[in-house]
Amino acid sequence: MTHAAHHFYLLGGDEHAAREFLDERFGKDSETPAESIFHEVYELFRKEDAADFRDRILFAGASDAPRVFAIHAQSFGQEAFEAMLKILEEPPKGIVIAITEHGASVIPDTIRSRAHSVRLTVSASDFDAKKFLALTIPKRLALVADVIAEHKDDETSAPLRLHAQQMMTEIIKEARRETSKERGEILHELTTMMGYLATRGANVKMILEYTAMIL
């Protein structure tokens, strides 16, 4: 599937998930390989950091191949976003900017409205494996359909695979609480499905639907 092009991503998740997403979207084996991917990690991203970041982008200049500049910060100073507003709106040709948004981050609406937001992780409160196992098969399949619908534009994307992997991890943890022979066989199947989810281009819909039906 060809991905839509965006010049500014707001990535909802941790640094590890963001790096995996960017590698899948712009890595050397992707459909749109980047000339380079730069990662900058900060405790607090300040106005001074924003000015330096902006200058590096302007110095890099325009390019036919994407050049990705990613910011991973625990928190952001509000003045930092003001310093970056113009570069976020109109970066040089080929420049892609990504900002990792943690749960504690406060991203102004003026910034959020300019970004292509991607949810990379699902919090534990969003998925209850025990309740999922207790559902009937049709209701499990309906829940899977809701998950897929959140990513309807890109059903093989890294965010969806990460979402599914977290779901599968919780399902396996809950399934291990039972020690019957039948459950042992199911655990083997679940572990196999988890392995498939680690593969780029995995058919997440099929894997989750199969999981919903064998539990």
| Dist CA 55 CA 48 (whole Å) | 11
Q: For residue range 27-72, what is the model confidence (pLDDT) as tens digits? A: 887 777 888 899 999 988 999 999 999 999 999 888 888 899 999 9
pLDDT averaged over the chain?
84
Is the pLDDT assigned to residue 122 strictly greater than 80?
A: no
d(CA 93, CA 35): 13
pTM of the model: 0.60
Give 146-182 as a DSSP string: HHHHTTTT-TT-HHHHHHHHHHHHHHHHHHTT---HH
Write out pLDDT tens, residues 128-140: 888 899 999 999 9
| Sign (positive or negative) of CA dihedral 181, 184, 189, 190 | positive
